[in-house]
Structures are given as C-alpha cells and as structure tokens.
Amino acid sequence: MKALIVHAHPEPRSFSTALMSTAVEELRHQGHEVQVSDLYAMGFNPVASSADFNQRANPDYCVYALEQRHGVDTGTLAADIQAELDKLLWCDLLILNFPLFWCSTPAIMKGWIDRVLVSGKVYGGKRFYSQGGLKGKRALVSLTLGGQEHMFAADGVHGPMKDMLKHLLQGTLAYTGMDVLPPFIGWHIPYITQDARRTYLESWRTRLQSLEEEAALAYPMAI
C-alpha cells in the first residue's frame, strides 16, 4: 500500500505531530510506502488564485475550476500543486492529520484541498461520489481537539462529530470517490495526562494495523 499523510499543525512538537510520526513508523513497519506533506514545514501556500496556472484558458477572467481543467489538460498547473497532485494520485490511502480548528481543517490544509483537488482530474463533469476521480483510494481523517466526546454525542451540545465534519467527510472526501473510513479522534488532548496521550498513540497504532479490513462510511452513490 502507498500512503500519503497530509499533516498541518502550527506547533512542530504537538501531539498531532506524534500521531503523524506514529503513522509513518507503523505503516513503514508494515512494509507500506509512505510520503508526508507537512504543510507548515513546507510553507505551503493555501491561497487559490490565478497565479496557480502557468497558462490561462481565459487570461481576462478567472473561473478557478475551468483554469484547473485547462491546467490539467495542458500540464501547466503551478509546480507546487502538480507535486502534491502527483502524490495524491500515487497513493492508495490518504490520511489528513490535523488539529480541529472551528470544526474543520486549519486554513493551510483547506488550501491544500482547494488547490490540489483539481477539476478535470479529481472531480468535474460526472466525476463525483462513486464516479469521482479518486475512486479506489481510501481516506482517513485523524484529528485532535480540546473538546470532550460527550459534547459531540447524538444528544450533545454540538451533535455528532460526523455531522459537524459532513463538509469534509462527504462533501470533500467521499465526493472525490474515495472510500472514507471513520475518523480517528483524539478528544480533549490539551487537558489529559501523558499516559492518556500514550494510550491514544497505541490505539492509533493498533488501528493502522487493521485498516485494510475496515468498512468505509456509507455515502451517496452518483447516478
């Protein structure tokens, strides 16, 4: 298996970084190939703009998705996007690893999604859900947060995390055709003991050992 881990945390020594390192170690230990895109370390540019295209379909007016299609067709996407797209198309498993910021990814990772999931390859036309451009790949979100699990219970104040992440799990990952595994969630991370954090790392490692047998979440099929 080939795995791409896209990681984003503003603190290089965070627990989120430990989840990333554990995944690299464990997946390599199992004989898989692993690439990591550490977005903060790379200084990744998250801002989608007309500068993302070395050649323009329409130099006067930027419809971002149409320029993506043109960039794919002509091989003229900006080099940083093409490099990430190559990794994405290479992988069988995509792991998005991040601290939850406002019930979603940090902006730097949102920008990776905005810029790298290009129309004309990943989505566009009839390419969505079961016909998406990333069909056959699997996606796994691993996130940490300060909040507690009971706040995201069915009757909790925020409602289920799966609903709060619908834009990401369904609207993004399942939309591209990937099979989306249940997220791995590190609850209340800043407030728990080192022992409790170690237990999380062990359960993450154990989970990574049996990913291949896991069932994906159920999401819509394209017609």
Of 13 and 213, CB closest to a copy of itself:
13
Of 33 and 41, CB closest to a copy of itself:
41
Q: Tell me if 6 sits within 8 A of 42, measured CB to CB.
A: no
Torsion angle (degrees, nearest 10) of CA 184, 185, 191, 194: -10
Of 78 and 164, CB closest to a copy of itself:
164
Smallest distance from a copy of itself to CB 30, Å: 31
**Tokens describing residue 111:** 């920008």
Alpha-carbon radius of gyration of the chain: 18
**Tokens describing residue 219:** 């999401």
Residues that bind a copy of itself (CB under 8 A): 10-11, 13, 40, 46-50, 61-65, 99, 101-108, 110-111, 113-114, 117, 129, 146, 157-159, 163-168, 170-172, 175, 190, 220, 222-223
Of 40 and 204, CB closest to a copy of itself:
40
What letter would DSSP give residue 160? Answer: -
Smallest distance from a copy of itself to CB 62, Å: 4
Smallest distance from a copy of itself to CB 159, Å: 8
Residues 195, 191: Cα–Cα separation, whole Å: 12
Torsion angle (degrees, nearest 10) of CA 204, 209, 214, 220: 60
Smallest distance from a copy of itself to CB 137, Å: 17
Per-residue buried b or exposed e for 169-199, using 16+ beta carbons within 10 Å of the residue's own CB: bbebbbbbbbbbbebbbbbebeeeeeeebee
Smallest distance from a copy of itself to CB 75, Å: 21
Of 71 and 106, CB closest to a copy of itself:
106
Among 196, 80, 204, 208, residue whose Cα is nearest residue 148: 196
Smallest distance from a copy of itself to CB 31, Å: 33
Of 10 and 28, CB closest to a copy of itself:
10
